[in-house]
Amino acid sequence: MPITRVSDAQRFDFLTDHANELAVSISDLNQQIATGKRLTRPDQDPLGSAQVVRAQSSLAALGQYDESTRFGQDVLGAQHDALGQAIDETMARAKELAADSSILTPDARSAASHEVDSLLQSLTAIGNSELAGRRLFGGLALDGPAPFADPLAPGYTAATAYSGSAAQVSVKIGSGSSERVQISTSGDQIFTSSLQALTDLKAAFDNDTPRAPSLDAVESAIGDLESERARVDVRASQLKQRGDQVAALTVTETAARSHVQDADLVAVISRLSQAQTALQALLAAGAQLSQTNLTDLLQI
Amino acid sequence: MAISPILDSAARALLANETVLSVVGENIANVDTPDYSRQRAELQADTVIAQVNGVAVGTGVHVQTVDQIVDPLLARRQLGAETDASQQSALSDQLGGLAGVLNDLDQPSLAGALGDFFDAADALGRNPQGLAERATLLARAGALVSEFHRRSAGLADLQRTIDDRYVAVASEVNDQLTRIAQLNGAIVAAEATGQSANASRDQRTAALNQLAQTVGISTTEDAHGAVTVSLAGGATLVAGTDVLHTVAIRTNGVGLDGGALHEAQLADPNGVVVRLPQAFATGELGGLANARDVAVVTASANLDRLVDGTGVDPGLRDAVNAVQQAGIDLDGNSTAAVPLFQGTGAAGIALSGAITVRTLAAAKTTEPGDNANALALADLRSTALPALGGTTFSGYVATEESRVGEDATQAGDVATASSLKLKQIQDQRAGISGVNLNEELTNLLRYQHAFQAASRVLTVGNEVLDELLKAV
C-alpha cells in the first residue's frame, strides 16, 4: 500500500527509530574496536563461533604437543650427551686399556685395574645421570634412588647392577593414541653390556688373563652404546621435525581463528565513520523536520 | 424582509465552526498521544425551511457527527501482528540470553576449562610423578567442575527469570480484561445517548493491543459498540461488560533449580480452572514458555549429556573415570576404586572424595616414571565419543554453541521480520489515523476564516436590522 499521508508522530518515530539503529551500530563497532574482536557472542556468527571454539581447542592441543616435543628434545639431548661421554671418554679409554693389556707389566696391569675401577664408577655415574631430578636412564623417575648400584659395593655384579624403573616413557606429539615418541630406555638395556665389559676387563687385569676376549667385549659394548645413541638421535630428529610441524600448524590455526574472530580494524573504523556521518545527517534532518510545518511559516 | 433567518444562519455557522475548531484543537493537542485517532467533524447544511421574499433558502450549517478516522480492518490486522511480534521478540530476547549463558568465546568458558584440564593431563604425562603437575590436574578438574556448575546455574537462573517474567505478564491479563469490559460499558452508554465515545474507543484499542501482545486474541464488535474478546482456542474472555473467563496462574512442572514453574490457565466465573496450553501458546506468554520449556531445557539436557553420556555410551565423567580407574597411583596402588569424578549431570558432577594428588593414576604399571595412563587421559581430548554424536568434547561444545547461536540468530531474524510487519501496519494506521499538524493548521485557518465570515454575516445582519430600526 503506497504511503499517501504521513502523520507528525510518524516523522519523529522514523527519526527516533533510525537514530537508535545507528546508535546500536556505532556501539557495536566501538566494541569491536575496543576488543579487537568481531565475534564476541555465538549469535553473531554461529558457524564462526563453532570454528573459533574448535580452533581454540586445536591451539591448546598444539601448545601441548609443542611442550612435549621440547621436553622430549631436552631429555634426548641430555641422553645424547651422556652417551657421548660414555662412548668417547669412558669406553674409549677402556678400549685402549684392553688393547694394551697384553703388553703391560704386572705393575701397569695393577694400575690399569684401578683405572678400570674408576671407569666403572664413571660409567655408573653416567647411568645415574639426572635432568631436573629425573633419572635419564632410569625411566625418567623423579627424585628416585640411583638406578645403578655402586660398583665398589660388595657383591656387585654388572648383571644385577640395575634396579631402576623398567618404564619406557613416551611423549605425546599428536592427537592419536599412537602418536608417541619414546624418550627413555631402561638403563639396563643400555649399560649392562658396558658395565659387564668393564667388570670383565678389570678381572682380566686382576687375573692376568689374555686380552682378546676383553677387547671384543669392550668393542661390542661400545657398539651397543653407539646404537642407543643413534636411536636417541633419530627420536630427537623426529621430535624436531614434529616441533617444526606444530609451529607451522600453530601459525596456520592462529591465522584461521583470527580470520573468523578478529575484527578488521580498517574496515570497522571505516564503517564507524560512515555510521557517525549518517547519524549526524539524520540529526540534522531531524532539526530541519521540526521546522517544516505551518506553525513556523505562518508564525502562529 | 425577514432578518432573523440571516442571524439564525450566521449563529448556526458560528456554532458549527466553533465546534470544528474545537475538533481541530483536539487533534493538535493529541498530535503525539499514542494510539490517538484523529477526528473529523462532518458538516451538513441545515434543512431548507426559510422563506426570503418567497424564495426558499438554507438555514445554515451544523455538525452532524465527529468521526474517528480509523480503518477497522487495519486494527484487526494489528492485533494479530502485535501477538506475533511480541511472541517472536520474547523468544528472541530469551534465546539471546541463552546464547550469552553458553558463550564460549569469552572467559570463563566450558571449552576453555576442558582445554585446561587436558593441558594438565599432557603436563602430567611429561612428569607423571610431579606433585605440582598432579596438583594442577586436580585443580583444573575442579575448575572444570565449577564451570559445569556455573553454566548449569546460569541455565537455571535464566529459566527462573523467564518464569518470573511469565508470571508477571500473565498477572496483568485480568486487569486488561476488566479494563476492556469497563471501556465496553462506557462506549455503549455514551453512544446510546448520541455522545462521542472516541476517547474511550482509543483507550480500548490500546488495551486490546496490549492484551494481544500478551496472548493471541480475536475480537468482534457488536452493533452497540461493545467488543467480544476470545482466545485463540475459542474461549470467550470478555463479552460486553462481563469478564467471562479470567486467567489463573498455576504451578506446572519443576524447574532446573528445583522450584515450581508456572502456567497460565483459564478460570470460569465459578472458579473452575482448566488447562488450555494451546490457547496461551502465542503472544509474549507463548514466546516465554517456548524459551523456558524447550530452549533452556534442551540446552540443559545437552549439557548433562556431555557429563553423563547416554546411559549406554559414556560422557566425560565415565570416560575420564575409565582411564583413571585403569591405572596405578603414585604409591603403586591400583586405582580401580578411585574415580576422578562423581555425581550426575552438569549440576551434580563433583570431584571424587577419594581423589588426591597421590591417588591420581598417571601410570599403568608400578614402574616409577611410567606415564602411560596420563597420556591415555590426555588422549581423551581428541577422542570422538558416540554419546556426543561421534565428536570430541570440544567439538560437542562447539556444535552446541553453534546450535544455540543459530537458534538465537534465526529467532532474531523472525522477530525482526515480525516487528517490521507490525511497524508497517502501525505506519499504515498512523498514516490514516495519525495527526498531521500541517493538515490541522490548514483546517484551523480554513475554519477560522469560516468563523470570521459567519461573524461578518452576523454583523451585516445586525447592521441591516439597525437600519430598519432607525426608520421606526
In angstroms, rounded to a whole number, what is the distance separating the alpha carbons of residues B453 and B443? 15
To which residue does cell 493538535 refer?
B28
Domain that holds residue A138: 65-257
B1: confidence class by pLDDT, cuts 50, 70, 90: very low
Residue A286 lies in a domain: no
Residue A156 lies in a domain: yes
Please, are residues B140 and B131 in contact by the beta-carbon 8 Å criterion? no
A chain contacts of residue B435, beta-carbon cutoff 8 Å? 7-9
Note the pLDDT tens digit of each residue in B358-416.
Answer: 999 999 999 999 999 999 999 999 999 999 999 999 999 999 999 999 999 999 999 99
The answer for B234, left when phi > 0, alpha when psi is -120 to 50, beta otherwise, is left
Distances B35 to B31, B204, B448 between C-alpha atoms, Å: 10, 10, 28
User: Tell me, what's the pLDDT at B134?
Assistant: 98
Tell me the mean pLDDT in the region B306-320: 96
Note the pLDDT tens digit of each residue in B220-267.
Answer: 999 999 999 999 878 999 999 999 999 999 999 999 999 999 999 999
More confident residue, A297 or A197: A197
B126 and A141: CB-CB below 8 Å?
A: no
Q: Checking DSSP bridges between strand B55-57 and strand B242-243, what pairing results, if any? A: unpaired
Please, are residues B92 and B415 in contact by the beta-carbon 8 Å criterion? yes
Residue A279 lies in a domain: no
- Mutation target to probe the A interface, by most A beta carbons within 10 A, among B144, B328, B401 is B401
- The DSSP output letter for B59 is -
Note the pLDDT tens digit of each residue in A242-287.
Answer: 999 999 999 999 999 999 999 999 999 999 999 999 999 998 888 8
B464: confidence class by pLDDT, cuts 50, 70, 90: confident
A60 and B412: CB-CB below 8 Å?
A: no
A57 and B32: CB-CB below 8 Å?
A: no
* Domain harbouring A122, CATH code: 1.20.1330.10
User: Tell me, what's the pLDDT at B3?
Assistant: 66
More confident residue, B1 or A215: A215
A chain contacts of residue B37, beta-carbon cutoff 8 Å? none
Of A8, A40, A57, which has the smallest distance from its Cβ to B106's Cβ? A40
Residue A262 lies in a domain: no
Q: Positive or negative CA dihedral for A41, A42, A46, A52?
A: positive
Distances B389 to A114, B111, B117 between C-alpha atoms, Å: 69, 17, 22
In angstroms, rounded to a whole number, what is the distance separating the alpha carbons of residues B321 and B329? 14
Is the pLDDT reported for residue A108 higher than 80? yes
User: Tell me, what's the pLDDT at A106?
Assistant: 85
Between helices B283-290 and B131-171, what is the axis angle to 10°? Answer: 160
Structural domains counted in chain A: 1
The grid cell for B246 is: 479470567
CA-angle at B120, arms to B142 and B141, nearest 5°: 15
Residue A201 lies in a domain: yes
Note the pLDDT tens digit of each residue in B191-215.
Answer: 999 888 999 999 999 999 999 999 9
Note the pLDDT tens digit of each residue in A2-52.
Answer: 667 888 888 888 888 899 999 999 999 999 999 999 998 999 999 999 999
Shortest Cα–Cα distance, A11 to chain B (Å) = 10
The grid cell for A11 is: 516523522
A41 and B370: CB-CB below 8 Å?
A: no
Shortest Cα–Cα distance, A210 to chain B (Å) = 41
Please write down the HEC assignment for all residues of A6-21. Answer: CCHHHHHHHHHHHHHH
Q: Which residues contact B51 (CB under 8 A, 6 or more apart)?
A: B2, B57
Shortest Cα–Cα distance, B188 to chain A (Å) = 29
Please, are residues B291 and B300 in contact by the beta-carbon 8 Å criterion? no
Q: Which residues pair with B63 in a beta bridge?
A: B43
Shortest Cα–Cα distance, A42 to chain B (Å) = 5
pTM reported for the whole predicted model:
0.88
Residue A128 lies in a domain: yes
More confident residue, B155 or B47: B155
Calculate the dihedral angle through the C-alpha atoms of A40, A43, A48, A50, rounding to the nearest 10 degrees: 100
Q: Which residues pair with A134 in a beta bridge?
A: A131, A142
Is the pLDDT reported for residue A212 higher than 60? no
Residue A245 lies in a domain: yes
Residue A118 lies in a domain: yes
